[in-house]
Amino acid sequence: YIPIMGVYNAENVQTPLLMLQGTKDNSVVPASAMATYRAYKEASKADVQMILFKDEPHHMKHYPNQVRKVTEELDWLGKGLFSV
């Protein structure tokens, strides 16, 4: 299991990565997500970004954050698709 985990291969990552994380996520513990983010940011040459959503669980519960999440995703995809 460990050899295939992303953080152990972070230097090989080339695909841009957008991480959206709730600070009250019980499915993906925020500390684990931050460790993954740091590993990719430090070792990878890819564009890596993380956006934290205060007081949100794994699935966004607050409407303004739901809107922001979708907006961030669309912006990210648009930036990647149209930067060619």
d(CA 76, CA 55): 23
Q: Where is pLDDT greater, at 3 or 56?
A: 56
Q: Where is pLDDT greater, at 36 or 54?
A: 54
- Contact assessment for residue 46 and residue 15, using Cβ atoms and an 8 Å cutoff: yes
Q: Is residue 4 predicted with pLDDT exceeding 70?
A: no
- Contact assessment for residue 23 and residue 30, using Cβ atoms and an 8 Å cutoff: yes
Q: Note the pLDDT of residue 11.
A: 85
The mean pLDDT value of the chain amounts to: 89
Q: Where is pLDDT greater, at 80 or 63?
A: 63
Q: Is residue 26 predicted with pLDDT exceeding 70?
A: yes
Q: Which residues lie across from 50 on neighbouring strands?
A: 19
- Contact assessment for residue 46 and residue 13, using Cβ atoms and an 8 Å cutoff: yes
